[in-house]
Structure 1
């Protein structure tokens, strides 16, 4: 990991900050009159989670591959947290009021994420198959996100069906790269010849890709679909 240029880590950290900003804005907009308490609490919890994950990373927790797969376990905790948000009526009401355009614009970060993955692959920290040169087409979601935000859920044009289809396709692309990334993890993959395993995400700051960025993207898709399916009082659709 020492051979990876510093600008790669800097770019990824900027992505993390951008995602935090998108989430803060979405929650703040969904809770008017709360004096920013709810959005501040959400960001504080997320920053606390990021700090906890980073501490564990620096302590070598994730690079210890013996016993239960630790990184997938942490990812599982984020999935459970998302499920709880949809189950609890109070948080579900907030999800329904999040600005759907913001929930689409957030996917723009998938473009620089793909660049970071490519840089990591060039440095042999992850397999090239996890990039747009391989089987990962997730960059399409990032490129098309602003068009979906403007012409499917924005002020210029509305299409509930189009937005639903876009989210489902983008979800499928997300699933594809996640499945590929899991398959190359050292728990399940032994490199042979010139192959490399998916080791980059076990180190700071790239550990935040599976433990924060991917769950945030998944969350945005699920909330968008939730609104598109159940929010019947949106005149723009």
Structure 2
């Protein structure tokens, strides 16, 4: 087990299930009321199965026991499957209708979850399980997306007009912030291709429950950006 304060573990578990609740709310306020129950069941069922699978793999050491594997096990077993689902939604007509039914205010508001995530990352840095560069004290400015999400909901939909260009720019910039931390996290992990943070590598995400961050929380946040960009671009 990863040696971190128990409050960080409990806090991150709560963050993960709050992410699930927030996206369930995104579905509940969608414009397609007839199809909403079906998508809600699919999301909740798929989420709990996926979270359970990732917890099992983490406890079995599927990620931290195979650090020399190429490509990294967490990429193959944890990152690629959610990305395949997202790509499928963009390719299938039913997926496109589903994304277009989601409301932009709810998709934007979900990003507040990035604030507590960044607090956990800072706690993991203090515990010696991730490098400082992965926190807001280093090269990770992802917390700005979470802090500005409520402001965007206020500014963009403030009368007299909907400010599409402002929302487009915010989503692009926030997506770049997300990609920035993902890239740094991969380059700081103790894999054969590690390029950063050799003195204090990124090991936390290889253990439960923090493996849920790259395998679940990040894909949900990524999807919200992409679904919003599909509507405003």
TM-score by length of 2: 0.91
**Residue in 1 that maps onto 2:19:** 19
* Distance of aligned partners of 1:75 and 1:192 in 2 relative to their CA distance in 1, 3 Å threshold: closer
* Distance of aligned partners of 1:155 and 1:119 in 2 relative to their CA distance in 1, 3 Å threshold: farther
2:194 aligned to 189, 203, 210, which one?
189
* Distance of aligned partners of 1:132 and 1:192 in 2 relative to their CA distance in 1, 3 Å threshold: closer
Secondary structure of the corresponding residue to residue 36 of structure 1: helix
Map Cα deviations across residues 182-233 of structure 1 (whole Å, 9 max, x no partner): 110111237888x21110000011001000111111100000111112xxxx
Q: Does 1:71 align with 2:71?
A: no
Between 78-87 and 153-162, report the one with greater CA deviation: 153-162
Do the aligned partners of 2:156 and 2:163 also contact (CA within 8 Å) in 1? yes
5+ unaligned residues in a row in structure 2: which ranges?
none
Do the aligned partners of 1:151 and 1:157 also contact (CA within 8 Å) in 2? no
Partners of 1:156 and 1:10 in 2: CA distance: 43
2:101 aligned to 71, 87, 97, which one?
97
Partners of 2:154 and 2:160 in 1: CA distance: 6
**Residue in 2 that maps onto 1:4:** 4
Map Cα deviations across residues 140-169 of structure 1 (whole Å, 9 max, x no partner): 111101101221146786210000000011
Q: Does 1:221 align with 2:222?
A: no
For the aligned residue pairs, the C-alpha RMSD in angstroms reads 1.9
Q: Does 1:207 align with 2:208?
A: no
* Distance of aligned partners of 1:24 and 1:102 in 2 relative to their CA distance in 1, 3 Å threshold: same
Secondary structure of the corresponding residue to residue 29 of structure 2: helix
* Distance of aligned partners of 1:162 and 1:190 in 2 relative to their CA distance in 1, 3 Å threshold: closer
TM-score by length of 1: 0.90
Return the offset for 1:84.
0.5
* Distance of aligned partners of 1:173 and 1:128 in 2 relative to their CA distance in 1, 3 Å threshold: same
* Distance of aligned partners of 1:72 and 1:198 in 2 relative to their CA distance in 1, 3 Å threshold: same
Between 12-21 and 213-222, report the one with greater CA deviation: 12-21
* Distance of aligned partners of 1:155 and 1:204 in 2 relative to their CA distance in 1, 3 Å threshold: farther
Return the offset for 1:50.
0.8
Total equivalences in the alignment: 228
Secondary structure of the corresponding residue to residue 61 of structure 2: coil
Return the offset for 1:4.
1.3
5+ unaligned residues in a row in structure 1: which ranges?
230-237
Do the aligned partners of 2:111 and 2:146 also contact (CA within 8 Å) in 1? yes
Partners of 1:168 and 1:66 in 2: CA distance: 34
